[in-house]
Structure 1
Amino acid sequence: MNEPDALGKTTRINLLFDFYETLLTEKQRTFLKYYFHDDYSLGEIAAEFDISRQAVYEHVKRAEQALEGYEQKLGLLSRHEVLQEQLARLEAIGLELPVGSAERAALQSVLEDIRQTENLIDVNPNREVTGDGV
């Protein structure tokens, strides 16, 4: 896999992990965190858990498949991405409205309300929510 593809895959798995972490087993969460989040190699993980690299590979692959399966069934990441695109479009439309107009102010207010609401919705109860949505 070339570098851009690997980065894209890592980004996707990390996003899926954010949405579906609580649906994974503890072992799946652990191996995915080590491999994708902490960027450990298969060999490093194998040494840490005293198992073969092949066993680590199988655990990681099964966990990836589980995440993709949850996304296929629930579509939370897809919905999130569509919402972000729609918000960006609305923001662009707002920039075309005259500065100081009531319409622009109303649109900006609604966009801010949506973003604040989105920040309150935490799909991962184990993750701390901050004011910046992280």
Structure 2
Amino acid sequence: MDEILHLTLLYDFYGELLTEKQKQVFELHYQDDLSLTEIGEELSVSRQAVRDQLKRTEKILLDYEQKLGLVSRFQAQKKDVRQMLEIMEEMETEGLSDTQLRQTERIKEIAQAILS
């Protein structure tokens, strides 16, 4: 997975555990796409201070994931749900009864809701 995508996913899961300053720097860099220099100017701190804060924040997010594993579990569950959808689609081609077809359609709807 792309490193930036991975970090933003970690932020989605663990961002509320960060300080306001950590959230601000992370969001300005990864969500607003500002450079370290631009962030430094906006916050009236040096570029190096922004870089240090960003690196600390990234490490904190990675540490949370290492300890809690929520993102890994989430990704594994999404993969499992996709496999469930594939099985349902295979079952539909095997000549199910009307009741079974309705049931597989309902299961597919639930799986799609989980994935979105």
> How does the TM-score come out when normalised to structure 1?
0.75
Cα distance between partner residues in 1 of 2:8 and 2:26: 9
1:106 aligned partner, one-letter code: Q
Q: CA deviation at 1:112?
A: 3.0
Q: CA deviation at 1:111?
A: 4.2
**Is residue 105 from structure 1 mapped to residue 99 from structure 2 by the alignment?**
no
1:85 aligned partner, one-letter code: K
Which of 29, 35, 47 is matched with 1:35 structurally? Answer: 29
Cα distance between partner residues in 2 of 1:75 and 1:48: 34
Cα distance between partner residues in 2 of 1:55 and 1:78: 31
Which of 17, 22, 42 is matched with 2:16 structurally? Answer: 22
Which of 75, 78, 84 is matched with 1:90 structurally? Answer: 84
The structure where helix makes up a greater share of residues is 2
What whole-Å deviation, never above 9, does each CA across 1:74-128 have from its counterpart, x for those lacking one?
A: 1111111001100111111111113573445324423433554x58xxxxxxxxx
Q: 1:85 to 1:44 in 2, by over 3 A?
A: same
* Structure 1 portions without partners, runs of 5+: 120-132
Residue 71 of structure 1: aligned partner: 65
Cα distance between partner residues in 1 of 2:46 and 2:104: 56
CA contact (8 A) 1:21 1:29 kept: yes
CA contact (8 A) 2:85 2:111 kept: no
What whole-Å deviation, never above 9, does each CA across 1:52-92 have from its counterpart, x for those lacking one?
A: 11100000000001101111111111111001100111111
Residue 128 of structure 1: aligned partner: none
User: Structure 1 runs of 4+ off > 4 angstroms?
Assistant: none
- Identical pairs, percent: 35
Residue 49 of structure 2: aligned partner: 55
> How does the TM-score come out when normalised to structure 2?
0.85
Is the radius of gyration larger for structure 1 or structure 2? 2
2:87 aligned partner, one-letter code: I
Q: 1:94 to 1:114 in 2, by over 3 A?
A: closer
* Structure 2 portions without partners, runs of 5+: none
Cα distance between partner residues in 2 of 1:74 and 1:12: 15
